Amino acid sequence: MCPPILRRLFRRLAPLAAGLLALLVAQPAPAVAAPAAAGLVQVTGFGSNPGNLQMFAYTPDGLAAGAPLVVALHGCTQSASAYYSSSGWPKYADLWGFDVVFPQTTSANNALSCFGWFDQAESTRGRGEAASVVQMVEYAKQTYGSDGRRIYVTGLSAGGGMTADLLAAYPDVFAGGSVASGLPAQCATSQAAASGCQTGPQKLSPAQWGDKVRASYPGWTGPWPRVAIWQGTSDYTVYPANATALRDQWTDVWGIGQTPSSTRSLPGGTTRSVYADAAGRPAVETFSVAGMGHGLPVSPGPGTEQCGATAAYFLNTICSAYHTGLFWGLDQDGPGGEQGLPAPTGLKVTGVTSGGASLAWNAVEGAASYAVYRDGAKVATTATTSFADTGLAPGTTYRWTVAAVGSSGTAGVTSSPVTATTSGGTAPARCFTATNYAHVTAGRAHTAGGHAYANGSEQDMGLYNVFLTHTLRESPAGHFVIADSGCQA
C-alpha cells in the first residue's frame, strides 16, 4: 500500500510528501464509504468505538452459531467494500463456513485512510482503533454466535501492521493472524519512526522483536497466535526486511528458532517456509512471492485454490486467502469437533516410493472414519487406520496430519504432523542465484550474528545484506549448498 503518512505529520509535512504520494496514490478513500458489493452490510452500535471505525460484515446465509470469525483489515486508500470484493475471503466464508468482519477507517482518522499501526494511542490494548476492532469481535460473538476459540485477523500493509499489533495486544482474543506486506508488532511507536519501519525496520535481534510482543500484554501466559506472513520480494513500499523481522518476532515468541522446519514451492513463484512448534504443528509460516510488489496476493478463477479479483494492490500471483485459511484450519471443523474426538496418536510413515507414501496411526474410540490432510489440504477420508497417498512428485517433502471423524461427519482435533520425502533420484536439483538478503527472505538461508547461512548445509554465505550474491543448489528438498562455481539443475 502507499506509505502510511500519519494524520498530524501528513498535515504538517504535506508539501514535502506530495511528490512521493503522487506516485503512489490517486485519491484517499472517502470519509464515508457505502458498501457497493452485495452481501456486505454495515453494522452500527457495536460498542463505544473509541477508534472511530466503521464496521461491515459478511455473514453467509444459513450459517449456524459456533462458526469461526475472520477480521480483515484493508490497506491505505482502500475501503471495506474494496477488500470484500477483491481479497477472496467471502468465497471461503461460503465454502468453509465462517463470518467475516471488515473494519473500515476513513480520512477522518487518517488523511490516507490508513489504520494507525504506528500510533500507540490507536494500536495498543484497550485503546483507539485496536479497542474498536475487539468490540467488533465481541459484537460478532454475541450476535452471530462466533466461536471465541477461532477468531482470526488478517490485513494488508497498514492493515497488516495493525494486524501484528492486535495479535500482540490481544493474544487472548485472536487464535491466529496473517500479515500481508505489513510490519512487525510495535515497529513504530511514534509518527517520526513510521516511514523508517517501512523501508527498513530496526536491526533488532529476534529476542528484542519478541519483547515488543511480550510487552504488549505483560503477564500473558496463554497460547500465542499462529501467524502467517506474506511478502513480495520486489516490494519497495514495505520492504521485505519487514517479513524477516516479523518471522524473527513471532518465532521468538513461540520459542522455536528461525530455521524453517520445511520449505515448499507453491504457485505464483511462492516459497512457503514452515516453522513448527514443539508438538510439530506449524506455528509460523512465511510466504515469499518472487517478483511481487506491494499488495495482497490473489488468483482470480473458479478453482478451489483460486480467489479474489485484481485491482490496485490486489496482485495476480497466488490466492493468499486459501493458503492462509488452510494454515488456520478453516477448512476443518472446530477444536475438538462436535464429538469431542481427540487427535489420533502414533501417526507414522510406514513406507515411501517415488510417487507415494503409506501412513498408519492408532485408532480413536468413537471414530466413524478418519480425514487425512496433506500440507494442510484434505486429500482423503478412510474407514481404516492406514492410508496410501499416491500421485506424489518424486524427491519432494510432504507433511501429513490425520483427524478422527465422528458419526455426524464432524472432524475432531488434528494429530501432530509427520513428514517424509518421496524417493526418486531423477528429480532434478534446483538452482537459485540471489543476494543473501533474498535467499533468507525466500527461506533458503537463515541469519545468525549478522551472517547468512545456507539451510541444510549451514555453509557461511557472508554478511546478511543485498550486496553479496550466491548461487545455491537445492538437493534434496530443503537442503542448500553454495554452488557459485557452477550449478547443474
d(CA 23, CA 3): 11
d(CA 411, CA 45): 36
3-state secondary structure 295-362: CEEEECCCCCCCECCCECCEEECCCHHHHHHHHHCCCCCCCCCCCCCCCCCCCEEEEECCCEEEEECC
- From the number of C-beta atoms within 10 Å of its C-beta (0-12, 13-18, 19+), residue 15 rates as exposed
User: Contact 7/202 with Cβ under 8 angstroms?
Assistant: no
User: What is the Cα Rg of the chain in Å?
Assistant: 22
> What is the spatial order of strands in the sheet that 356-360 belongs to?
348-352, 356-360, 386-390
Q: What pairs with residue 430 in β-bridges? A: 474
Cα separation, 47 vs 382, in Å, equals 47
| 79 is known as an active-site residue | no
Q: Are 164 and 209 in contact (CB under 8 A)?
A: no
Integer CA distances (angstroms), 104 to 153, 178, 347, 355, 389, in order? 14, 18, 44, 48, 44
Backbone angles phi, psi at 273, to 5 degrees: -115, 130
Q: Which of 79, 157, 178, 475 is catalytic?
A: 157
Give the pairing of strands 445-448 and 451-454.
Answer: antiparallel
Q: Are 53 and 97 in contact (CB under 8 A)?
A: no
Longest dimension (CA), the chain: 69
In a 3-state reduction of DSSP, which class is residue 454? strand
Q: Copy the grid coordinates of residue 268.
A: 505464483
Instruction: Report whether 247 contacts 228 (CB < 8 A).
Output: no
Whole-angstrom Cα distance, residue 392 to residue 140?
Answer: 41
- Distance separating alpha carbons of residues 250 and 271, to the nearest angstrom: 18
Q: List the catalytic residues.
A: 157
